[in-house]
Amino acid sequence: MAEELEKEVPVVNPDDDSVDNLKRVLAEEKTRADANLIGWQRAQADFSNYKRFVEQDKAESLKYANAALWVNILPVLDDLERAVAAIPHKESHHKWIEGFKMIDRKFRGIMEKQGVTPILSLGMEFDYRTMEGLTSAKGPKDSVIQELEKGYKLQDKVIRPAKVVVGNGEELSDKEE
């Protein structure tokens, strides 16, 4: 390393105090200073870009930190939804059933506050980014005709695609409708 520094330092002949020699040395030093300045500016820009990248990555990680938790909770929500749907109409006036429905509403409110929203799929055009087509059946082509399992998003990221039946374009007969 010391050898490199010695090579980079311009050699000034102490006996040569000529203006030309001093101008040459000054020009070489100015070139080295400019190169160092450009390198420093480049390093500053790289560090600034790195810092911004790390901050964005951290914000993204925080935004989706609960995704795994919600994926594990969604089957419980499915069971709760099926239980509420299975309540006979005659029984829906009981206080404990009203409490059960209130729990369902509160749970959905918490989900919404946390940015977890259901993916609308029934009757929509099939979208491979948010839905998983499990089978096809008679119905309008590429239209979702049945939702087998609800899909959900956390913010703008799909955490569970909707599992759906997609229409194959065959017409339904009057009996099937």
Over its C-alpha atoms, the chain yields an Rg (Å, rounded) of: 34
- Rounded mean pLDDT of the chain? 86
Percent of the chain with pLDDT strictly greater than 70: 87
Of the chain, the percentage scoring pLDDT greater than 90 comes to 57
Q: What is the mean predicted confidence (pLDDT) over 88-115?
A: 89
Measured from the Cβ of residue 131, the count of other Cβ atoms closer than 10 Å reads 21
Phi and psi for 82 in degrees, rounded to 5?
A: -65, -40
Interval 134-140 mean pLDDT:
92
| Annotation: CATH topology of 64-167 | Nucleotide Exchange Factor Grpe; Chain A, domain 2 (2.30.22)
In this structure, are residues 163 and 149 in contact, taking their beta carbons and an 8 Å threshold?
Answer: yes
| DSSP assigned state of 160 | E
The mean per-residue pLDDT over the stretch 1-26 comes to 65
- Provide the token pair at 175: 């009996």
Q: What is the pLDDT of residues 23-51, one digit of tens each?
A: 888 899 999 999 999 999 999 999 999 99
Confidence of residue 21 (pLDDT cuts 50, 70, 90): confident
pLDDT at 143 over 50: yes
What ranges do the domains of the chain cover? Answer: 17-62, 64-167
Instruction: Work out the average pLDDT over 107-128.
Output: 94
44-79 b/e with 16+ CB inside 10 Å = b?
A: eeeeeeeeeeeeeeeeeeeeeeebeebeebbeebee
Residue 15 pLDDT: 58
